[in-house]
Amino acid sequence: MQAVKSAVAKPRVFVTRHVPYILEQLRAANVDVEAFEREDVAIPRDELLARVSSCDGILCMLTDRIDGEVLASAGPNLKVVSTMSVGYNHIVVDDCRAQGVMIGFTPGVLDTSTAETAVALTFMAKRHAVASVNSAKTGDWGVWQPFQYCGTDVEGSTVGIVGLGRIGAKYARIMKDAFRCRILYSGPREKPEVAGPLGAQFCSLEELLGASDIVSVHCPLTQATRHLFNSDTLPRMKPSAVLVNTSRGPVVDQNALYDALVGKQLAAAGLDVTDPEPLPTDDKLFTLPNCTIFPHIGSATIKTRQAMADIAVRNVLAGVRGETLPHAV
């Protein structure tokens, strides 16, 4: 008589980056885990396609494009794609839905850290921080001059927020409470339930650009918002205003931004996101003293990144077990 199999095969999860914090949690669960061997580089496309074969779940990063080709390589066992990010533009949602593959993401845990990053960029731009630091480094400091290094005040500024979601609202709260700023916002619709406690006023994008001392971008990347800030919209800002972007790089046309900064159509910019990422070191934006560029550190606190990893793990484990995802797209 044929022996009965003593155990059911464990679900197989492939992780696209070697992140020990994630791997430890998955290995403690009742799943088989395989991972790309490096943490400092994204998995090459050909290796991704080869290694997802026959897996039940994929835990990916925002650097990994997950589309129909990846799903086909994974095969019919694939149940879930879990990304360690709140954004999911790198995942072709329609392809996943067509194959019945669930998608998990990590909302709600990076609001504070990203809003704080926007505040940091606001001060970097308003107070000419990059030029000042470079001056000190190069020995150009020189004798004290009454108006040397002078920027403009943050306190009492009019702040225009493009996209009053969770992160935009958190940024608005900080700017209002700590620096007594007036808050304007624009978007596809009014949000009285969010705007009311902030005293925020809804207006068109054109009105916002013309009235704001600080424009902070928090909208998602869609067809409607791609290059929302361009050669037409950027010149509508005050010449003394600054632009801060912690949303997605392609929301800003970087060639138009360069021209606007050089042409003094706006005073400065602070970017945590660029197009592409990483931004090549020879990009012309790096030559400008009035442009601060961070390497996408919006969520880069230990607390936030661990929370994101925790959600990504819970999503992928729920998916491979046929359960409802804690945070599904």
- Digit-coded pLDDT (tens) for 153-183: 999 999 999 999 999 999 999 999 999 999 9
Rounded CA-CA distance 265/239 in Å is: 5
Rounded CA-CA distance 10/31 in Å is: 5
Q: Whole-model pTM?
A: 0.90
If 0-12 CB within 10 Å is exposed, 13-18 middle and 19+ buried, where does residue 307 land? Answer: middle
Structure confidence by residue, pLDDT tens digits, 187-228: 999 999 999 999 999 999 999 999 999 999 999 999 999 999
Tell me the β-bridge partners of 64.
none
Structure confidence by residue, pLDDT tens digits, 1-11: 444 444 568 99
Rounded CA-CA distance 145/149 in Å is: 9
- Give pLDDT, residue 135: 93
Rounded CA-CA distance 149/45 in Å is: 46
**Residue-range domains of the chain with CATH:** 12-105+303-321 (3.40.50.720), 110-293 (3.40.50.720)
Helix, strand, coil percentages in the chain from 3-state DSSP, rounded to 5: 35, 15, 50
- Give pLDDT, residue 9: 86
Which regions in the chain score pLDDT beneath 50? 1-6
The overall average pLDDT reported for the chain is: 96
Task: Output Rg (C-alpha) for the chain, integer angstroms.
Answer: 23
Q: Point out the residues that are catalytic.
A: 296
- Give pLDDT, residue 7: 56
